[in-house]
Structure 1
Amino acid sequence: MGESRDRTETVLVHDDGAIRTVTVNRPDKLNALNAATLAALQAAFDAAADDSSVRVLVLTGAGPKAFVAGADIAEMADLSAARGHEFSLAGQRLMRRIETLPKPVIARINGFALGGGLELAMACHLRVAADSARLGQPEIGLGLIPGFGGTQRLLRLAGRAAALELCLLGAPIDAARAQQFGIVNRVVPAEALDAEIKAIAAQLSRSAPLALRGTLEAVIAGGECAIDEGLRFESAQFALLFASQDMREGTRAFLERRKPEFRGE
């Protein structure tokens, strides 16, 4: 799938081998999430989940200023309570779709990741930020709370103290502090961001797809259940992989001192 060149499209998709980049394409609005963009992102991730040629996804925002600077306030301003609920549920469905995708999703945080943008980044499996990025949940200033899962994922990623600080005070933090909180995995100079993303995505694209999927499912499930249940799930996933050709290839390659060639079988 080549990259869409239509500037009117809210989401662009580009494939480079097994790596698919999904770009929120509203740079004039700092890539703010409106209903149409949420729907386009949902469709893009649904398609990626069903495409066996895609092994890794990178999610980013168009332009130099923003990953995603939040939900579209102009669209939100006149929503009723019922419509606001629908908007929240649509955002949460998208975030959950990304979080439970059976393929790794890397957030390339090139600028502002605020409100819905931070919620979008937190739904990804790995987050790499430019040192110039700013992250936060500023909804309190609008008389709102995060509605796309921000309170829950911040709590799980960064803990109660950090979640309350970001959501109650609403002030953005820099990428270095976000890394201290555990919200982002890596922080690199802005000029090195693309190289870092490319290296991580390339490594993941060469990994065993079934093992990647098993890891993602075990970690996500384990974060939402008691440890004994999580351990049972891990053991079941571990055992299933012994029936895969990739596991045979990986062990043979190790013993033969060569690089494995995984096929997702």
Structure 2
Amino acid sequence: MGETSDVLRVEIEGDVAILTLNRPAKRNALSDALIDALAAAVEAAQRTSRAIVICGAGEHFSAGLDLAEHAGRSAIEGVHHSRRWHAIFDRMEHGPIPVFSALHGAVVGGGLELAAATHVRVADEGAFFALPEGTRGIFVGGGGSVRVARLMGVARMTDMMLTGRSVSAAQAEAWNLCQYVVPGGEARAKAVELAQKAAGNAEMSNYAILNALPRIADMSRGDGLFVESFVSAMTATSPEAEERLRAFLDKRAAKVGRPQ
């Protein structure tokens, strides 16, 4: 099931919506049309699915901003364009369902900003990450100065932007730009597997994880602990939580095992 546009392919696998950036000839550069299609697909998936996977067609996840469109913009048009990306990526990051990304090939510039707005990032071992904005005479505009910098640190981001260096998937994992590195060609399957697992969680728990954790991280220690108490109490008293806890106590649910 699903639908395909000129720039985005949408598939449904159970409770998971798979959104594939579909401009392979342009290395999935993020054009205005692609961003608009992504926004509509994310909004639809948040109403009808329980998790999202974002991946790219062809040899790359995304090489970033479509510079051909960006070149002619005025300063105020650039501001509006950036704020449009912010709104869409914020909706993903602070939405009601988890978003996973499957990364391969180029994860560059705006492509890395998009990946950083997802909650769990799975990288093919051949993926490479870069922020070449300094060499292009521009600056990040899709939320990278907040999201990417918080993931790997300002010093590393400064280095990448100043020098244009690219880093491997293994280095990206060490820097917290991705949480999983898998063999070549397996990123999408792994991301879908993880998304299906998350889709089976209690809806209230997922919502709390996605929306409470990042806000608590921005709070003082005391405020964070106070908010945690309320979120914990709210999630634990939902009917779904009560049933899951009862299943565990009755030995109908599996215990946590050792890692494979």
TM-score (norm 2): 0.93
- Between the two proteins, the alignment pairs up a number of residues equal to 254
1:1-265 paired onto structure 2 within 5 Å? 2-6=1-5, 8=6, 10-51=7-48, 54-63=49-58, 65-259=59-253
**What code does the residue aligned with 1:24 have?**
L
Which segment drifts farther, 138-147 or 157-166? 157-166
Percent of paired sites with the same residue: 35
Which segment drifts farther, 36-45 or 187-196? 187-196
Q: 1:224 to 1:202 in 2, by over 3 A?
A: same
Contact 2:103 2:123 in 1 (8 A): yes
For residue 244 of structure 2, give the secondary structure of its aligned residue in structure 1: helix
Structure 1 runs of 4+ aligned residues shifted over 6 Å read none
**What code does the residue aligned with 2:42 have?**
F
Cα distance per residue 1:41-77 (max 9 Å; x no partner):
11111222222xx1111011111x1111101010011
Aligned residue for 2:257? Answer: none
Aligned residue for 2:258? Answer: none
**What code does the residue aligned with 1:62 have?**
A
Contact 1:146 1:167 in 2 (8 A): no
What is the distance in 2 between the residues matched to 1:49 and 1:198?
Answer: 16
What is the distance in 2 between the residues matched to 1:183 and 1:193?
Answer: 15
**C-alpha deviation, 1:252, in angstroms:** 0.8
What is the distance in 2 between the residues matched to 1:30 and 1:233?
Answer: 43
CA-based RMSD of the aligned residues comes to: 1.5
What is the distance in 2 between the residues matched to 1:70 and 1:123?
Answer: 14
Q: 1:4 to 1:193 in 2, by over 3 A?
A: same
For residue 67 of structure 1, give the secondary structure of its aligned residue in structure 2: coil
What is the distance in 1 between the residues matched to 2:126 and 2:246?
Answer: 44
**C-alpha deviation, 1:95, in angstroms:** 1.4
Which segment drifts farther, 71-80 or 188-197? 188-197
**C-alpha deviation, 1:232, in angstroms:** 2.2
Contact 1:115 1:138 in 2 (8 A): yes
Contact 1:18 1:205 in 2 (8 A): yes
What is the distance in 2 between the residues matched to 1:12 and 1:220?
Answer: 30
